[in-house]
Amino acid sequence: MIFFWAFVIGGLICVIGQIMFDVFKLSPAHTLTSLVVLGSLLDGLGLYEPLIDFAGAGATVPITSFGNSLVHGAMLEAEKHGIIGVVTGMFEVTSAGISAAIVFGVIGAILFKPKG
């Protein structure tokens, strides 16, 4: 069942992005930035965690989960060390996405030649 909801919820988040493209005429960078901010706000309100339980990868794969996991890491550390933890814990949960993108970016640049 979680496969079905992953498809539906993930698809719907992409539709929100497409509406931002087409109806509000935002550039891809503006759209992705808004979605990340939206994700962090949702986690601040405690709404993103239930969505992950409900939809699995449908909520963790879209870029909104990036904002969510940034807030999450900050809050985990903040519980232990108070206000200073907000800064030190920021990348605790998110590191996979950014480090993978950078590592595979460099490997890709070594392996592939630009086209066109």
Partner 1 sequence: MANNKKKNLPPQAQEYQAFQSKREVKRPIFKNCLKAFLIGGTICLIGQCISTFYIYYFNFTEQTAGNPTTATLIFLTMLLTGFGIYDRLGQFAGAGSAVPVTGFGNAVISAAIEHRTEGFILGVGGNMLKLAGPVIVYGVFSAFIVALIKTILLKWGGF
Range 19-78, binding partner 1 (CB under 8 A): 19-23, 28-29, 31-33, 35-37, 39-41, 43-44, 49, 52-53, 56-58, 60-63, 65-67, 69-71, 74-75, 78
Q: Which two tokens stand for residue 82?
A: 């108070």
CB 76 within 8 A of CB 50: no
Quote the least distance from Cβ 42 to partner 1, whole Å.
9
CA atoms within 13 A on the CB side of 62: 31
Positions 86 through 105 that interact with partner 1 (CB under 8 A): 86-87, 90, 93, 95-102, 104-105
Q: What secondary structure letter does DSSP report for 115?
A: P
